[in-house]
Structure 1
Amino acid sequence: MSLDNDKSLIYLQYMQQAINDILEHTHNLTYEAFVKDKAKRQATQLNFIILGENAGRLLNQKDKFKDIEEIFKLSKTMRNFITHQYEDVSLTLIYATAKTDIPDLQIVINKLVKSLHQTPPDPEMEI
């Protein structure tokens, strides 16, 4: 695997972990319970920030992720929204995104990780 693929894989694995944490913090949780549970709300928001930060890093590799560039842009937009509008963040939006979009994103990210693991090594990188 090339150095570029190694970095991409690390960023994708950070995204996987953030997704897993978002799903864990919102699993079997109603919106009302989510709003009342400050620790889970904040943990979910932090993981959206982590997700978006790593998506932004992957956006710099435009050729590699051209087919899903829009997904990374949306993740980065959510990160920016939470980070810069923290006091005005819509908990409805956070909760709805966690429940509806994150499971689909998990599938996409898992496929990307799997495909990078299957990428043949770069012959120029061998010793």
Structure 2
Amino acid sequence: MSSPLAPYLPMAVALLVAGVLAILMPGLASLLGPRRPSAIKSMAFEAGSESTGPARQRFAVKFYVIALLFIIFDVEAVFLYPWAVNFQSLGWFGYGEMVVFAATLVVGLIYIWKKGALDWES
């Protein structure tokens, strides 16, 4: 007689192997890896150029606004896929709901565009 947990055995083994490797690989790398510290290796590296200014400098809020707007519109675009998959079964009601949803997105985009939130120069 088999246990009701038997189908989960392969997943448990995979998780166990992943956990062991996650601990084993960095541990072995730190123990066996070469250690040749130098002043050049200790310097901060920024895309191949030397660092200028302090690391804790202030950034304009514009960068965060653009990032948040990208995330908002990206997440809302994800909702289009399930709608497209179920398009035939939803009928005209589903089509109307998506028109309202897309219209809301367009109105929001026009609003932030008029506010100047997408201008890099200002």
Structure ranking higher on relative contact order (CA contacts 8 Å, 6+ apart): 1
TM-score when scaled to structure 1?
Answer: 0.36
TM-score when scaled to structure 2?
Answer: 0.37
Determine which structure has the larger helix proportion and give its number.
Answer: 1
